[in-house]
Amino acid sequence: QVQLVESGGGSVQAGGSLRLSCAAFGYMYSSYCWGWFRQAPGKEREGVAAIDSDDGTTRYADSVKGRFTVSQDNAKNTLYLQMNSLKPEDTAMYYCAAAYYCSAGNSGPESADFGYWGRGTQVTVSS
């Protein structure tokens, strides 16, 4: 069973940058769909970005396109989310997740597709 541990969250001013990491442990299949999600208080969970470990295909929510970049280091079983030009509305708990395959689409990933989840890391952006 895959275990996921996020790190890299923190507090930053608007316009700043953060890089989140997600380390995967445990029994690993040869390929996964990796995703980043976020949830702010009182709001629904939002799919931020996803990457297919096989071919590197990525997808992003419209709200983060051009500002966030998802990447992976397969040798280290680690997923990253580089977040630039951060805005106060990016404030949320960020979660990484894994699925057995990536569904097609040009927008953010769907949480229902993902069966493995980390516990999250908090990102706070002040104005």
**44-94 pLDDT tens trace:** 999 999 999 888 999 999 999 999 999 999 888 899 999 999 999 999 999
Q: How far apart are CA 127 and CA 86, in angstroms?
A: 10
Q: How far apart are CA 53 and CA 29, in angstroms?
A: 11
State the pLDDT confidence band at 5, using cuts at 50, 70 and 90.
Answer: very high
Q: What is the pLDDT of residues 106-124, one digit of tens each?
A: 899 999 999 999 999 999 9
User: 125 vs 29, 64, 82, 90, CA distance in Å?
Assistant: 35, 14, 15, 7
Greatest distance between any 2 Cα atoms in the chain: 42
Q: How far apart are CA 7 and CA 52, in angstroms?
A: 21
Specify the amino acid at residue 6.
E
